[in-house]
Amino acid sequence: MQTDRLLTGVLRAGAVLAALVMLLILCFLLLESWPVLTGLSVFRFLTDASWHPLEGAYNLMPMLAGTLLASIGALILAVPLGIASALFIVFFAPLHLASIYKRLIELLAGIPSVVFGFWGLTTLAPLIGEWQPPGASLLAGVLVLTLMILPMITITAYTALAAVPKELLQNASALGLSRWGTVRGVALPAARTGITAGVILAAARALGETMAVLMVAGNVVQYPESVFDPVRTLAANIALEMAYAMGDHRSVLFVSGLLLMLLVMVLSAMAGLLEKRRYA
């Protein structure tokens, strides 16, 4: 049919455009970081004494560790909380409370990250600082990130749980399963793919989050010895230094962008692998 062909064409063009944008970004990152990728040995990013680009020291590893630690910490807190909230909305809350609660979570998802950052900078970090100075720390970063990805996990988990076929749940009740038994034995396994997808999206967001983390994490380039030590993430590094960087310094910042992108790519590959294993 004419419209069918037209639609296929249009959709194809759209898909190509989206893929092209992704490829162009990768090309751009490679192009901008090319001078240092060829000029310097790659091992310098792993073994240099520190990150002082103006003094020719380019170790990116502490920032990679900072990025991973902050994201993993946030996931550890947000995943159980998010899934619990979603279960509460779908199975345990009274109808009107559930809808109010859901609105609230959606509102939380809509708050711009810089607002979280500002709150963290003026309230959370000083609070932690009273207890364990200096306050701006890995912990503050983790907490702010948790708040940001929590609604994302909740909403995706809610959608996945709400999409579990009614028959499955009715069968479970017919078999005399308790509510918790239904949740654990039927609903959660059935919604697993959707929940995992949500968690991976949230992880990607946590890895790339810039402003909020920049404002609360302290940004000192080091391997943290405790959660009260400040860290710098790769994304924060770019935002902090890009405006004033020149020459090699600028190129190395693009390398940290490339590294961040690589990290997200590994994450999405892992997600794909998980999916495949489930259906194999």
Count of beta carbons in the 10 Å neighbourhood of residue 130: 8
Give min distance, CB of 119 to other proteins, in A.
11
Give min distance, CB of 126 to other proteins, in A.
4
Sort strands 57-58 and 51-52 into parallel, antiparallel or unpaired.
antiparallel
- Taking the C-alpha atoms of residue 255 and residue 207, their distance in angstroms, rounded to an integer, is 16
If one asks whether residue 53 binds other proteins (CB under 8 A), the answer comes out as yes
Residues 50, 59 contacting (CB under 8 angstroms): yes
Q: Site residues for other proteins, window 1-20 (CB under 8 A)?
A: 3, 6-7, 10, 13-14
Cis peptide, bond prior to residue 53, ω within 30 of zero:
no
Q: Which tokens in the block code for residue 197?
A: 């997808």
Q: Site residues for other proteins, window 233-262 (CB under 8 A)?
A: 239-241, 243-246, 249
Q: Nearer to other proteins by C-beta: 15 or 273?
A: 15
First to last CA, the chain: 36
Give min distance, CB of 31 to other proteins, in A.
17
Which one among 22, 54, 115, 162 touches other proteins, defined by CB under 8 A? 54
Q: Site residues for other proteins, window 145-204 (CB under 8 A)?
A: none
Give min distance, CB of 164 to other proteins, in A.
27
Contact string (CB under 8 A) for other proteins, positions 111-150, x = contact: ----------xx--xx--x---xxxx--------------
Closest to 268 (Cα-Cα) out of 209, 194, 203: 203
Q: Nearer to other proteins by C-beta: 55 or 167?
A: 55
Q: Nearer to other proteins by C-beta: 126 or 208?
A: 126
- Taking the C-alpha atoms of residue 93 and residue 119, their distance in angstroms, rounded to an integer, is 30
- Taking the C-alpha atoms of residue 171 and residue 164, their distance in angstroms, rounded to an integer, is 12
Distances (CA, A) of 198 to 159, 172, 203, 204: 10, 26, 9, 10
Residues of this chain that bind other proteins (CB under 8 A): 3, 6-7, 10, 13-14, 50, 52-55, 57, 121-122, 125-126, 129, 133-136, 214-215, 218-221, 230, 232, 239-241, 243-246, 249
